[in-house]
Chain A
């Protein structure tokens, strides 16, 4: 190993992998919550929705579309003052989280909206005919029936997030991207870049595998 990858410090690599996982998982949770809320609002306030509301729908749709349109590398830079204000610095894994969540949540929100639209209107109507409250319809019908699509959506989003963490590495967020860039690329130690890439690919595969497993398990259609 030492001959093949002379410049790789394996302990550093473990730390970097830990940081990548940390950023990915925390950002995934944040994205899940924010995306679900935004997606639900988009769905519920749409024309013929349960809480039809043109203004709110327009505002949320506009926010989602704008943030989805901003390339992630630029979003990080735009958010620098915000993260500095929040954490006192823009370096480190925590400082990357707001950008990661704000970058991924609008994307997930759209996936949530699509997933909810796929829920059979007839089933919602059946629940209404039984006298269900809107909250019951949301939690016991919409989210439950859309669950496989919501899970595969968060899987896709999380994989995009892993890519984002690598980009965030460029501004010192830590993690495998950071390590590959500063120790590998800037020093021309390409064995480091190679090992980091392999590790990122493995992480992506693991998330994809877990996501697929869960989706298959809960899909009773």
Chain B
């Protein structure tokens, strides 16, 4: 990747126009290669005498084709961070490379062209109400100077992609929130960007609409291999669609990693609170007296699922293999992009030896077993 980039920056290729070079470069941005590299990125706002480090020395790499979540409470600096990436906000210091190109040194004109490679969607959709759905989606194409015939063709594809067929001539005021965000997404994808920035894209939507927009984003991510950076203050958004996540507080990234790792092993206080948002408090369940009292014979097991979607049929497998009774008492399993995560409390009864065999079998899978109580 590095070599290829250098190659195309080589003097021999200086005969190519900037656009042509960028086009060639695009071929080498493959899934898994480095899409974004951010180092020592800071943004300081001055409000009179006061100074706010909205973003404070952030380092981050994001791979091509990944859905990267940034979560934090209000005022953590998430919006500022994402706006620094396409320089809607000018960085105070630090460096940002997108697809191998340094953003911070681009002049105005090159920045404008580069921005056409970076789609952005917003919490409040930010559609032009004076334009129809089709015209809104065509707007970035007009900006990029795409011919009218090609524009109409592309708009059709996009309307199809986001599921807005039949709404082409509607004005934004005639659409629901979810439909507006679909227009926003189609518009952001119009110029075939390699990166999509989403600032609280679902925060203005009800839970069901949120889910439909999130699946659309996953769909796009898979279909187009698009890299997505997703800002949110809701952990379930991260849980549902992100591969990796960074937790922000006071302008800094306090913890980052794969979503499952953060769920199973949150180290920072803020992360723990976010995990509790979707999983509930971890020890609350165990001390549930009624749960314990319901077990007088057999064993009470806690099964922990971390990732591995192959474990999904585990319970039925165990029930088939062994002549025992399995009774699910309580459970909390969430689906993440890396498979299910969470725990089940299972009451297992039957012949003592068979019960032990079943437990040994479960232990041979990647599911963690804990015996909470012997009956």
Contacts and interface: CB of A to CB of B under 8 A. Distances in A.
Interface of A: 120, 122-123, 125-133, 136, 140-141, 144-145, 147, 218, 220-221
Given A129-B88, A144-B130, A220-B129, 16 more contacts: A122-B124, A123-B127, A125-B126, A126-B122, A126-B126, A127-B139, A129-B118, A129-B120, A130-B139, A130-B140, A130-B187, A140-B142, A141-B128, A144-B128, A218-B130, A220-B130
Contacts of A122: 122, 124, 126
Contacts of A123: 126-128
A131 B113 contact: yes
Nearest to A148: B130
27 contacts: A122-B122, A122-B124, A123-B126, A123-B127, A123-B128, A126-B126, A127-B139, A129-B88, A129-B115, A130-B120, A130-B143, A130-B191, A131-B113, A131-B115, A131-B144, A133-B112, A136-B142, A136-B143, A140-B142, A141-B128, A144-B131, A145-B130, A147-B130, A220-B129, A220-B130, A220-B171, A221-B173
B167 interface: no
Nearest to B172: A220
Nearest to A120: B126
Contacts of B128: 123, 141, 144-145
A145 B139 CA distance: 13
A59 B323 CA distance: 91
B183 to A, nearest CB: 11
A147 B88 CA distance: 26
Contacts of A125: 88, 122, 126
B143 A131 contact: yes
Interface of B: 86, 88, 111-116, 118, 120, 122, 124, 126-131, 139-140, 142-144, 171-173, 187, 191, 197
B120 A126 contact: yes
Nearest to B141: A130
Contacts of B120: 126, 129-130
A131 B129 CA distance: 19
A140 B92 CA distance: 31
A220 B116 CA distance: 27
A130 to B, nearest CB: 4
B135 to A, nearest CB: 10
Contacts of A128: 88, 115
B85 to A, nearest CB: 10
Nearest to B121: A126
Contacts of A140: 139, 142
Given A123-B127, A220-B130, A129 B86 contact: yes
Contacts of A145: 128-130
Contacts of A131: 111-116, 140, 143-144
Contacts of B124: 122
Contacts of A218: 130
Contacts of B172: 220
Nearest to B170: A220
A133 B111 CA distance: 11
A141 B130 CA distance: 9
A125 B115 CA distance: 12
A130 B116 contact: yes
